[in-house]
Amino acid sequence: MLQQPYDLEVGAGTMSPDTFLRVLGPKPISIAYAQPSRRPADGRYGENPNRLFRHTQLQVILKPPPERVQELYLESLVAIGIDLKEHDIKFEEDNWEWPVGGAWGVGWQVMLDGQEITQFTYFQQCGGMDLDPISGEITYGLERIAQFLQDLDSIYDIVWSRDPMTGTELTYGDVRLHEEQQFSAYSFDYADVDKLWEHLRLYEAECLLLLERAKTVLTEENDDALAVKRFPVMGAYELALKCSHTFNLLDARGAISVTERVGVMARIRTLIVGVAKIYAEQQRLTSLVAA
């Protein structure tokens, strides 16, 4: 299935519910989507040719992963014009984890002539729960791949589009440079720290309220199947993601001490793991009704 990008601030394609929640439970999925990913601390005011506040990933989830998934990945590189005989492809061990999401997996970073272009992971756990079956995740770094294909030193020189009539080109910089400059300035210089802390508190409180409500709605004793199906797990997850992004903004602003960092990450983990558990329970209860 081809899905649309998730319309909320996330730091990686993994954080979209189409990955984080869909890998839970036994139902097989094959899904792909492009995902803009925001990482405030990575912004460089548009002055670094290889670092971005917002980059784009192509996220592929295969559950369960096919036996020849690595071969399929290499074939995908050939399909976009990368000659594997002419270039050096290496799979370097790089096990992945997202501690705040209670998620980890074993895998590799894929290096193309010395530059990382893909993260390849077999998910083992998500939301603090073991996965059965496991899922295969392939995350392509689209800017880096485009930069390689066009043999460029800077992401901002990537040809975004070309007018077929006039040959006039628009570059990545023409389209995105002003965003990088302004979002970097906001993340590092302008974001109001006191208001960010207040936003974090409000998002957290609302998410915790939903997690508490789930204890009375998502139960086998509740014979209101429609209420079970409609319970807003997705709303709770979006609030948890907003907490995560707000934390990243605070981090970029240098507003979180070492001791505060540990505590805030633990609070956000409570939210995200809590959402994963009520999602799994909602899916279980819904399947019982369907049966």
Structure tokens at 117: 């272009």
Residues 6+ apart with CB under 8 A from 186: none
Is the pLDDT assigned to residue 92 strictly greater than 80? yes
Task: Answer for the pair 70, 136: CB distance below 8 angstroms, yes or no.
Answer: no
Mean pLDDT of all residues in 151-173: 97
Mean pLDDT of all residues in 139-162: 97
Predicted local distance difference test score (pLDDT) of residue 62: 98
Where do the domains of the chain lie, and which CATH numbers do they carry?
13-188 (3.30.930.10), 192-290 (1.20.58.180)
Q: Is 177 helix (H, G, I), strand (E, B) or coil?
A: helix
| pLDDT tens digit sequence for 20-35 | 999 999 999 999 999 9
| pLDDT tens digit sequence for 93-127 | 999 999 999 999 999 999 999 999 999 999 999 99
Predicted local distance difference test score (pLDDT) of residue 291: 56
Is the pLDDT assigned to residue 290 strictly greater than 80? no
End-to-end CA distance of the chain: 25
C-alpha 244/C-alpha 82 separation (Å) is: 36
Mean pLDDT of all residues in 210-217: 98
| pLDDT tens digit sequence for 122-145 | 999 999 999 999 999 999 999 999
Task: Answer for the pair 10, 37: CB distance below 8 angstroms, yes or no.
Answer: yes
Structure tokens at 251: 């981090």
